Structure 1
């Protein structure tokens, strides 16, 4: 309960994949504020180009999360939020958080592993080369990636 764990930064896709495969979700309240606070701390130490959050609910104070997302925006750290499921209240808050940070929001369903893969690849391209790189990448032809591009400033 209340656990938050940050793994060391990595540059290799295989290392990231192994780290993600070790993640296990258990019952308990969301830890979004901890994630955003950690990202703020990290980007103050060393430039972070993008933050990805995948989730399905929010059990925390939306105003607190909004303040943290706004601080991410001030530091030019865009938050890319991918919502699993279709809860409209959660989607509204996730969308606001993404906007406050200068990032983007997209919803997907549980059967959309391919779509999530496309979105994560698009964020990697964005983190490496910005909006221009993403626009010129073949991924930009995907409809969900187009929605991300439209939201980026």
Structure 2
């Protein structure tokens, strides 16, 4: 296979994943008018392998807040795991500065993945109050996939889509991440340094849509352009 042909196939694969992701975003439940906040759990793997890209993740989450600030309706809870069985969940916050301060104080530590605890936490939070979506960013999976899928199924019943963003190309992680996304009617997408801008826009689109519905998404997409424009034709009118 020529280098040009290989590049074309890889690009086609990425486009297919993005298209699938956008379709899932379009199917997310919308927040109805009336002053309610969209609630988004932003969970991250903070083990040692992710240290090189932690700063980029800090910037990406700030973008989500910036794009929804005018809507006045987004609450985010930061979750991460690292080291030896260390798991953290922040209070719900409505300002990027508060969340950014928490994230920049974190240093990545070596340890096994704790994705099960992330899913369990999202389930428990949803039983207290509505959670509109869970975003998870990670690069590997070192757990019992059957247990993860069982809890993912519970999240699906509760109506919590999980949007999984995988850094790198770990095939074991990819298989598990895709199943989690499917069971929750969420979406899976891979990213790397070259696609950081696209990931930023897609994360922002999820936040905007969860907060303000189609009208807010349309305004965002017309302003942002790029891949987000594909959403407009897939989301039903309010």
Deviation at residue 91 of structure 1 after TM alignment: 1.3
Task: Specify the alignment match of 1:68 in structure 2.
Answer: 151
Deviation at residue 118 of structure 1 after TM alignment: 1.6
Moved more, 61-70 or 132-141: 132-141
TM-score calculated relative to the size of structure 2:
0.55
Contact 2:205/2:217 (<8 A) preserved: no
Task: Specify the alignment match of 1:142 in structure 2.
Answer: 227
Q: Structure 1 residues 110 and 24, CA, compared in 2 at 3 Å: closer, same or farther?
A: farther
Contact 1:122/1:134 (<8 A) preserved: no
Matched, 1:50 2:122: no
What are the equivalent positions in structure 2 for 1:1-153 lying under 5 Å apart? Answer: 1-130=84-213, 132=214, 136=218, 137-138=220-221, 141-142=226-227
The Cα RMSD (Å) is 2.4
Deviation at residue 26 of structure 1 after TM alignment: 1.2
Q: State how far apart, in whole Å, the 2-side matches of 1:127 and 1:51 are.
A: 11
TM-score calculated relative to the size of structure 1:
0.83
Unaligned runs of 5+ residues in structure 2 are 1-83
| Structure 1 residues 99-135: Cα deviation after superposition (integer angstroms, max 9, x where no partner) | 11111111001444323322221221232145x4576
Contact 2:208/2:217 (<8 A) preserved: no
- Partner SS state of residue 51, structure 1: strand
Deviation at residue 23 of structure 1 after TM alignment: 3.0
Q: Structure 1 residues 89 and 18, CA, compared in 2 at 3 Å: closer, same or farther?
A: same
Deviation at residue 44 of structure 1 after TM alignment: 0.5
Q: Greater CA radius of gyration, 1 or 2? A: 2
Contact 2:178/2:188 (<8 A) preserved: yes
- Partner SS state of residue 136, structure 2: strand
Contact 1:140/1:146 (<8 A) preserved: no
- Partner SS state of residue 118, structure 1: helix
